[in-house]
Structure 1
């Protein structure tokens, strides 16, 4: 059987032909390999250079190789964080004519690390909690797309920090299966496998002395279940917001924040019955909101202020006709953010008389106004609007605040 390279891009076969396919992967010469950390795998895996690409090459039987290649392509179309499939190479034979196993070729995820490499120095428990959060986000996203992983584990995941955010990516889809919709039983089975696998992997680290003494492997195994359950409930419960009740959206964002997640993306579908809102979660690290707000808007704010302003910006963008995430023809986030600063942020801040602002900077003023709008809307059980909140804040809040700060006379 002749060597065959099935690739997603017509340019890749020519690049891949340069590699020694007539040699077992375990015996590839060093000149072809790239020294990157590898996780534990039941198969032989190597990183190699193909033109300008760094690729991961995994040997496995032809049927599972083709199946995994197809599943990874499906996940890519669904926008799920997973390694990028490049090709399947079949018909390999050794120099003596001995048949060799086919290989699956994926693109190396730049900046990512397998979990064992992250434990080369003792990882703080707080960082481990964030990794569990990232893995919970990945598993929820897979299940929402109808993908049953079948072997969720730290070993089958790559972790990457990107602009302060922790993200988890699926590496091994060999045991996965894609369905139109997952049953509760299928999700619970996947989650139980994750709990057992993660506890086992952390017990191995504990035995090797690579685990922080305060980390309980069994408790962290249960933590993925808890975080997954909280996130699944918050993301999947049906919510239709009637006209004038848009402050309910903010209530859900606050609950996500309380769970330790932020909203990476929000989509609103309008209907006669009300607005249906869906959220895509994201796990973030300290200082992320400051950097993100500064990049998008040029506004420099404290972390909590920035978080609040970004939530408002995201909610506002979702209502704009030219907001369409993933559409190359839609307005870029930076363009929408500039419009928000010009049409929403600055006019709102300027509505507060300078003599009443005291020492508050513009970001703090806007944050205070959003908080005031939230409390008034909760009390009224409908969204009162920003203009009404500003007027009430100027009339009833700022005068009292200034009165408490002004000196009452000599002591």
Structure 2
């Protein structure tokens, strides 16, 4: 059987022909290899240079290689974080004509690390919690897409920090199955496997002395199940909000924040029955909101202020006619953000009399107005709107706040 290279891109076969397919993967010469950290795998895996790209090459039987290749392509089409499949090489033989196992080729995920490399220096428990959160997000996204992983573990995941966010990427799809929809039993099976696998991997780290002494491996394995269940409930329950019930949407965002997740994307679909809202969560690092708000609007704020303002900005953006993510003709986020500053943020802050807001940062004023709107809307059980919130805040809240701030200086 002749050597065959099946690839997603017509340019890849020519680049991949440079690699020594007639040599068993574990014996590949160093001149072709790239010294990158590898995770634990049941198969032989190597990183190699092919043209201008770094690729991961994994030896396995032909049928699972082709199957995993197609599953990874399916995940790519669904927008699921996973390694990018480049091709499958079959018909390999050594210099004596003896058959060699086929290989699956994927693109190396820049900036990513397997979990064991991340534990070379003992991670703080807070960082570990964030990694588990990222893995919970990945598992939820897979299940929402109808993908049963069948072997969720730290070893089958790559972690990457990108623009302040922790992200988890699926590496090994060999045991996966794609369905139109997963049953509760299929999801529970995946979750139970994740709990057992993660606890076992952390016990190995504990035995090697690479685990923080305050971390209980069994509790961490159980925690991912709790994080998953809370996130799944918040994301999958049907929510149709009556028009104008903005505070209901904000209440749900706050619940996601309490779970430790931020809203990366929010989509509102308008219909005669009300507004249907969907959320995409992500795990963020300290300072992420400050950097994002500064990049979008030029406003330099504290982290909590930035989180609150970004939530309001995102909610406003999805109501604009020229907000259409993915449409090349739609307004860019930066354009919409500066319009929000010009048409919403600045006029709202200016409605607070200068004498009352003197010395208070504009971002803090706006943050307090949004908080006041939230509390008034919760009390009234309907969205009172920003105009009424500003009027009540100026009349009943800010004068007392100014007095309390000034009283210590007058004593």
Aligned twin of 1:11: 11
Aligned twin of 2:365: 365
User: Equivalents in 2 of 1:215, 1:91: separation in Å?
Assistant: 48
How do 1:51-66 and structure 2 match up within 5 A? Answer: 51-66=51-66
| DSSP 3-state at the match of 2:135 | helix
Gaps of at least 5 residues in structure 1 are none
User: Equivalents in 1 of 2:210, 2:311: separation in Å?
Assistant: 38
State the 1:408 CA deviation. Answer: 8.6
Gaps of at least 5 residues in structure 2 are none
Aligned twin of 1:126: 126
Q: Which moved more, 1:344-353 or 1:100-109?
A: 344-353
Aligned twin of 1:72: 72
Aligned twin of 2:401: 401
RMSD, aligned α-carbons = 1.2
User: Equivalents in 2 of 1:104, 1:80: separation in Å?
Assistant: 19
User: Equivalents in 2 of 1:181, 1:63: separation in Å?
Assistant: 24
Q: Which moved more, 1:392-401 or 1:24-33?
A: 392-401
State the 1:361 CA deviation. Answer: 0.8
State the 1:358 CA deviation. Answer: 2.9
1:117-138 Cα offsets, whole Å, 9 max, x none, are 0010111111111111000000
Q: Which moved more, 1:39-48 or 1:332-341?
A: 332-341
User: Equivalents in 2 of 1:336, 1:87: separation in Å?
Assistant: 40
Aligned twin of 1:267: 267
State the 1:403 CA deviation. Answer: 2.4
| DSSP 3-state at the match of 1:403 | helix
User: Equivalents in 2 of 1:407, 1:210: separation in Å?
Assistant: 54
Aligned length: 411
1:283-334 Cα offsets, whole Å, 9 max, x none, are 0111111111111111100010001011111111122222223333332221
User: Equivalents in 1 of 2:51, 2:338: separation in Å?
Assistant: 40
User: Equivalents in 2 of 1:19, 1:41: separation in Å?
Assistant: 22
User: Equivalents in 2 of 1:335, 1:142: separation in Å?
Assistant: 33
State the 1:55 CA deviation. Answer: 0.5
State the 1:394 CA deviation. Answer: 1.2
| DSSP 3-state at the match of 1:19 | coil
How do 1:131-170 and structure 2 match up within 5 A? Answer: 131-170=131-170
| DSSP 3-state at the match of 1:383 | coil
User: Equivalents in 2 of 1:126, 1:358: separation in Å?
Assistant: 38
User: Equivalents in 2 of 1:398, 1:409: separation in Å?
Assistant: 18
State the 1:219 CA deviation. Answer: 0.4
Aligned twin of 2:181: 181
How do 1:204-283 and structure 2 match up within 5 A? Answer: 204-283=204-283
